[in-house]
Structure 1
Amino acid sequence: MEGVLFPRGVAEGREGLKAYVARGGYQALAKALKRSPEEIIRLIDQAGLRGRGGAGFPTGKKWQLTREATGEPRYLVMNGGEDEPGSKKDRVLLENLPHLVIEGTILSAYAIGAAKAYLYINARYDIAIRSIGDALAEAKAEGYWGENILGGNFSLDLEIFPAPHNYVAGEDTAVLEVIEGKKPLPRQKPPFPVTAGLFGKPTSVNNVETLANVAPIVRYGAEWYRKFGTAESPGTMIFSLDDDVNRPGIYELPFGTPLRYLIEECGGGMRGGKKIKAIMPAAPSSAYLPPEKLDTPLDHNSMRAAGSSLGCGVVRLVAQGSCIVEEVIKISEFFTAESCGQCPACRMETNTLTALLKKVQGGQGGPPVLEQFGKIIAFNKGKGFCNLIAMPGPPIESALKLFPGDFEAHLATGKCPVQ
């Protein structure tokens, strides 16, 4: 299936400068420098590009807010922290299509009026960091970044910044704290980065995949881009499948593609011929869907209508014969461990939810304990400096709704019903 980023929808090895230029690489940059930054922002807005880091915020709007904000200098930050369990899309883009990401970064900096951009990359991604470093050297030698890019008036400095290995370090404002030399702790908002970001200046923080979409849009136009996907969710998205399926990997698909196609045609179905018990479209923080929802289109509106979300495209499957209680305990323990601890509400919620789940696991507390989950989640809604506080809720509440029998069996016997 044709893709916007990968010509055949899957990664096919690292693309160097010569190969990238041969297929039109850096033409978008040359084209953009003949137009005003405002025109580029309008083009991205018309294309309907939305962030691929999880929230799906309109990219053109973010850029416009950054450009209009008071204060100089402005900054662009490419967020490649990527510490979501199972997510590998950003790493693959950085390793295989470094020039596509770099060109998108340069274009984005031009649009918002930034003279400095940081390439924030997970420090564990040695190959990705080396790939981007080599590509930066190649691109600078050809005048694609640095002083007076392509002989024009726009100059840009690019710097790789290794990201610490923890989940919260990928949150937009925690990214800024790290680059400023501080601990990876999210900031209280407002103010938002677009008005007071890096070093207190207007900053646009964009995911790797988001930036990779920019050059194709500038090169081919908004109308071309909207041929992919749906009216509300134009373009494509990269989805990650783990070892739950026969063909794990990343797959670029147009928005609106049925979930079933991703799992069965791309992933080859569940490993070992197992049947699906539940699907998590945005692991580890989305609501579970039952197998009856397999034909749900992979786009923001359809997933929301189905009661879940897309997140950053990590799709996890639970097989028939698995206990959902054991699954949500793993998720809750992950968020408990990854909470930075600076917000009392988040610290209390994550620890309490994990403790309650373990009570259920051991058959303690009886049916009344199940009523506590919703109360705790509702009480903490909207609290905390970042969104981690909201992440354990959807998996737990959807598991309770879809599979009450698993919880009741644990409470009745203190043992896992599938063992």
Structure 2
Amino acid sequence: MILFPQGRPTQRETFDEYCAAGGYDALKKSLSPTAILREISASGLRGRGGAGFPAGRKWAVAAETPATPRYVVCNAGEDEPGSLKDRILIAHRPHLVLEGTILAARAIQAGHAYIYLNETYDDCFNRMDEAVREATAAGLLGSLAVTIHRAPTVYVAGEDSAAIEVVGGKPPLPRQNVETLANVPPIIRNGASWFRTHGTPDSPGTMLFCLGDEMNRPGAYELPLGTSLRYLYENVGNGLKNGAELKAILPGGPSCAFLTNDQLDVPLDQESLKKAGSTLGCGVMRFYSKETCMVEETLRIAQFFARESCGQCPACRMETNMLSVMLERIQQGKADAALFDQFQKIVDFNRGKGYCALINMPGPPILSAIRLFREEFEHHIRQGTCGV
């Protein structure tokens, strides 16, 4: 694979071990900023943090911006429930992430790079700090300043614009994800064509997929993009614990739309999941058994977003709280079927009105749950209890 070609190390990869395996060879090529941008664009690398935006295009926009000074943010805030990817990469391969960050800074001619790290990840902070000191001693940073910045442990603080605010000394109001940057050194070292031998034409490369404790084999697994959801569920995760029967899938984190158990053959790539009605997100997979009450689960997701909204945007604050209250009424049997139409109206009215992307996040899971599992919601309205 790309990120863990020899399998995941059992401990931190040292500077010497990283260099012996070709580490920092990409940096030592001394490619011009234009050449780096060209290679990343040709590779088709897309962001692994959620939106899947082409990394080359994102960097080109930054490089063309006349404003200075420029800087790069390696976003390791990782407050997505169930995500382990940033922690695993930084804990085991900090030099890979650091080299990717240095190359990104060179590509856009930035003089300062910030590694925006979840404040609870003390082990990662120490390992990345050691990696920065080792690379500095080896003369690999040049004039680039690298600062490791501890990120608040709130969901919105991991959102891109929040990361920018925090490293600038401002409160987290809401650039590149850790996994995205970790792909950069192998691309520059081996070439865009090599990278494209993995994955699909539109979604090249691999991705780390996180499986939760509901699975027989929880953990983070690197797979080529385009691998079927069924392969991940059956062959990698070995199904749900206790032989439970599958009902639903949340394929990319709490802001994604639900899929049903008859959609297991959907390929895990941006285009295929979009056609299926959901998104790849950051690759945090949740699988739900037949015993799961989808009303309870949808309410839990809505309450999560209501708690994590920073409250700065009135529209976001009102939307997230209103959606939670409406779902709670359904759960308690204190609503009628007319309430269903209000969810779509509220989501449509507030779309894009927030300072950050959080305002758009509750809609997909809530609307898809109501559409796909309508009978469970109707049972709660009629009986005030779960029919599962």
Question: SS of the residue aligned with 1:295?
Answer: coil
| Equivalent AA in structure 2 for residue 20 of structure 1 | Y
Give 1:140-289 correspondences, 5 Å limit. 140-145=136-141, 149=142, 155-186=143-174, 205-289=175-259
Gaps of 5+ in 1: 150-154, 187-204
Give 1:18-417 correspondences, 5 Å limit. 18-31=16-29, 33=30, 35-145=31-141, 149=142, 155-186=143-174, 205-417=175-387
CA–CA separation in structure 1 for the residues paired with 2:184 and 2:283: 19
Question: SS of the residue aligned with 2:111?
Answer: strand
| Equivalent AA in structure 2 for residue 24 of structure 1 | G
CA–CA separation in structure 2 for the residues paired with 1:335 and 1:406: 22
Per-residue displacement from partner, 1:252-309 (whole Å, max 9, x unpaired)? 1111000111111111111111111000001211110011110100000000000000
Per-residue displacement from partner, 1:83-113 (whole Å, max 9, x unpaired)? 0100110111010000000111111111100
Q: CA deviation at 1:9?
A: 5.5
CA–CA separation in structure 1 for the residues paired with 2:14 and 2:350: 48
CA–CA separation in structure 1 for the residues paired with 2:9 and 2:369: 34
CA–CA separation in structure 1 for the residues paired with 2:46 and 2:131: 26
TM-score, normalisation: structure 2:
0.98
The answer to whether the 8 Å contact 1:9/1:252 transfers is no
Displaced runs of 4+ in structure 1, greater than 2 A? 8-13
Question: SS of the residue aligned with 1:45?
Answer: helix
Q: CA deviation at 1:321?
A: 1.6
CA–CA separation in structure 2 for the residues paired with 1:238 and 1:361: 35
Q: Give the structure 2 partner of residue 189 of structure 1.
A: none
CA–CA separation in structure 2 for the residues paired with 1:8 and 1:245: 25
CA–CA separation in structure 2 for the residues paired with 1:103 and 1:402: 44
Question: How much identity, in percent, do the aligned residues show?
Answer: 55
Q: Give the structure 2 partner of residue 13 of structure 1.
A: 11
CA–CA separation in structure 2 for the residues paired with 1:365 and 1:107: 55
TM-score, normalisation: structure 1:
0.91
Q: CA deviation at 1:13?
A: 3.0
The answer to whether the 8 Å contact 1:339/1:347 transfers is yes
Q: CA deviation at 1:10?
A: 4.4
Gaps of 5+ in 2: none
| Equivalent AA in structure 2 for residue 60 of structure 1 | G
The answer to whether the 8 Å contact 2:44/2:54 transfers is yes
Q: Give the structure 2 partner of residue 201 of structure 1.
A: none
Task: Give the paired residue count.
Answer: 388
The answer to whether the 8 Å contact 1:10/1:252 transfers is no
CA–CA separation in structure 1 for the residues paired with 2:221 and 2:165: 32
The answer to whether the 8 Å contact 2:8/2:92 transfers is no
The answer to whether the 8 Å contact 1:42/1:60 transfers is yes
Distance 1:23 1:210, change over 3 A: same
Per-residue displacement from partner, 1:378-397 (whole Å, max 9, x unpaired)? 11122111111111111111
Question: SS of the residue aligned with 2:247?
Answer: strand
The answer to whether the 8 Å contact 1:40/1:218 transfers is yes
Distance 1:25 1:140, change over 3 A: same
- What RMSD, in angstroms, separates the aligned Cα atoms of the two structures? 1.0
The alignment status of 1:4 with 2:6, answered yes or no, reads no
| Equivalent AA in structure 2 for residue 391 of structure 1 | M
The answer to whether the 8 Å contact 1:168/1:185 transfers is yes
CA–CA separation in structure 1 for the residues paired with 2:349 and 2:116: 35
The answer to whether the 8 Å contact 1:107/1:214 transfers is yes
CA–CA separation in structure 2 for the residues paired with 1:156 and 1:182: 23
